[in-house]
Amino acid sequence: MRILCLNCGSSSVKYRLYDWAKQETLATGIVERVTVGGSFIAHETNGREKLIIKRECPDHKMAIKLVMDTLVHPEHGVIPDTKSIAAVGHRVVHGGEKFAKSVLIDDEAIDAFKRISALAPLHNPPNIMGIEAAKDLMPAIPHVAIMDTAWHQTMPAHAYVYALPYAWYEKYGVRRYGFHGTSFLYNAKRAAVLLDKDPFKCNLVICHIGNGASINAVHNGLSYDTSMGMTPLEGLVMGTRAGDHDPAIDFFVMAKEGVSPKEMDSILNKKSGILGVTGQFTDRRDVEEAAAKGDARAALAMQIEGYRIKKYIGAYAAAVGGLDAVVFTAGVGEMSDQIRAIALDGLDCLGIKLDGDKNRLTHTRNAECDISAKDSRAKVFVVPTDEERVFIEDVVAINEGTYDVHTRFTYGFQAPDYRNTMRDEAFVKELARKPGLAQVACRPPKVKV
């Protein structure tokens, strides 16, 4: 069984093709600049150099067709034809309260996603466009929706109900939903493996830090609280999102500068966060480089971001009653030792102690790393996230009739001997350039150089 995973953003389509029988990733990549001009696909397969193909994709259907054409191309494709694909898994950012697990997509599910699009206006519409485009191109096979919000349906009411008029919750669904759930699920299960513990006896704080960022408090293996709210705007400082701030500021500026509600929504989501503070950067690599050269606002942005993460770690450690581990994941979490250091500075009082040398060595998306100090009561892990692996296993289990909520379902990546062969091979190549990584990898790959 070959499974295609699709993650459709407003101007991109990420994909991964996986051979379930061989337990092997056949290809992975992304189509960028969809709908905006200058579109191209970056396509990777085992044992070959990354391939870049330029082709205009004015809509998501054209982008997905480009993916399909690339996968079956006689020279650099990996399958003979599209009939080789047995099912497709789709990311859906917002599932509301209706969905607590992944589902087979039918007309009713699509209608439900459309009805709640107002809760995630930047994400659900392109997710839906991708689903409809893929179903048009591959109508004869099952399509499955994997929702970011499903993982968080175990949160207690006191964590998800806002102190606002309760009628808003009853009439409009105003509540905390949380996002990045697929990443949190993967990381929670992997952290349990690294701790050698029953996943439902683990207390964790998982920090998914990327351009979008959120933190998850995990109590006895279940999502207990999370930093994003009804929308992805609440919580941490992000690339362009403001995160937590006094909402009265918004009304104050709207009155002072004549800003409309729609304009303020755009400012808070697209012109704030790291970009708002620095005035020019969203990529943390650019921020770190600018700070190293003396840019005071770049340095301030790093401190603000790290401090906000620290506050959430401390609050969530208290919420779950002590921690087994803190986990960093996603682009910034996996690659920025500086943000990790700022976020964990001074948390020795909670039993969280970083090994500075190990932290500085850890810049990889191909291996799970332990950056804890020897005397740290809680472990500190850096775990490369793998949302697509969750997609794949959910799709296979739904097709086979064995799927259920994660409390009654065991994923293959929970096995102690689970390996990601594509990452293992990439890690071995990384070691040639950065041999120090061998000191921090929790489970060095069993791959010959």
Q: Which residues are catalytic?
A: 148
Q: Which amino acid is at 42?
A: A
d(C-alpha 279, C-alpha 200), whole Å: 44
d(C-alpha 217, C-alpha 96), whole Å: 20
DSSP 269-316: HHSSHHHHHHSS--SHHHHHHHHHTT-HHHHHHHHHHHHHHHHHHHHH
- 131 CA to centre of own chain: 19
Q: Are 124 and 92 in contact (CB under 8 A)?
A: yes
d(C-alpha 42, C-alpha 67), whole Å: 10
Q: Taking Cα atoms as reference points, which of 319, 316, 340, 315 lies closest to residue 330?
A: 340
Query: What's 117's DSSP letter?
Result: G
d(C-alpha 208, C-alpha 383), whole Å: 10
